[in-house]
């Protein structure tokens, strides 16, 4: 093969491989997934529908990543900010993630006692740290319950 033929072959391969990058996007997505419902379709039950379980009060969901500061103030992680985010070998999750899960249990009402909610936390002292992950979690749970109680009394006024 002469160099001119090789050059033409390489140019053709490069042109064909670059063609998809310059192609116009198609109208249909390549992976449609479930997509979003149309804007006119209502999401969730109508506002006149009573709650599924009228015996328990409605608790709002945790805020999303694009929520504003007032909504994020109710996020459970702020109560656990003093917990370690370092993963311990052989343990499932970090002390921080376990604490956040415990705060979610307390906030939703699946448990009412911070000690019960934090039972999965370690009770071992870490050198140089004040308190144990369990004690920090129980303290954070008490603060969460206190904040919820003051919020409920403010809502009733």
Report pLDDT for 42: 58
Structure tokens, 153: 């009394």
The span from the CA of 105 to the CA of 99, in Å, is 10
Structure tokens, 82: 């003093």
Q: What percent of the chain has pLDDT over 90?
A: 16
Give the predicted TM-score (pTM) of the model: 0.53
Flag whether pLDDT at 87 surpasses 90: no
Report pLDDT for 10: 76
Flag whether pLDDT at 94 surpasses 70: yes
The span from the CA of 102 to the CA of 59, in Å, is 16
93: left (phi over 0), alpha (psi -120 to 50) or beta: left
The span from the CA of 157 to the CA of 155, in Å, is 6
Structure tokens, 41: 């379709």
H or E element that contains 17: helix 3-22
| CA atoms within a 13 Å half-sphere pointing along the CA-CB vector of 7 | 3
The span from the CA of 74 to the CA of 55, in Å, is 23
Report pLDDT for 3: 79
Report pLDDT for 29: 57
Q: Which residues contact 98 (CB under 8 A, 6 or more apart)?
A: 118, 120, 121, 133, 137
Report pLDDT for 113: 94
Flag whether pLDDT at 40 surpasses 90: no
């Amino acid at each position: 093969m002469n160099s001119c033929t090789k050059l033409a072959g390489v140019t053709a391969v490069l042109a064909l491989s670059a063609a998809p990058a310059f192609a116009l996007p198609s109208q249909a997505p390549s992976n449609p997934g479930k997509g979003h419902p149309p804007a006119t379709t209502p999401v969730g039950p109508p506002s006149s529908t009573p709650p599924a379980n009228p015996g328990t009060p409605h608790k709002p969901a945790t805020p999303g990543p694009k929520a504003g500061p007032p909504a994020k103030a109710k996020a459970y992680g702020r109560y656990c900010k003093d917990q370690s985010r370092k993963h311990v070998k052989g343990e499932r999750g970090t002390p921080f993630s376990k604490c956040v899960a415990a705060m979610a249990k307390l906030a939703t009402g699946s448990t009412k006692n911070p000690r019960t909610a934090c039972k999965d936390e370690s009770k071992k002292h870490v050198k140089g740290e004040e308190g144990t992950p369990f004690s920090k979690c129980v303290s954070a749970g008490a603060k969460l319950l206190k904040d919820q109680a003051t919020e409920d009394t403010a809502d009733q006024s």
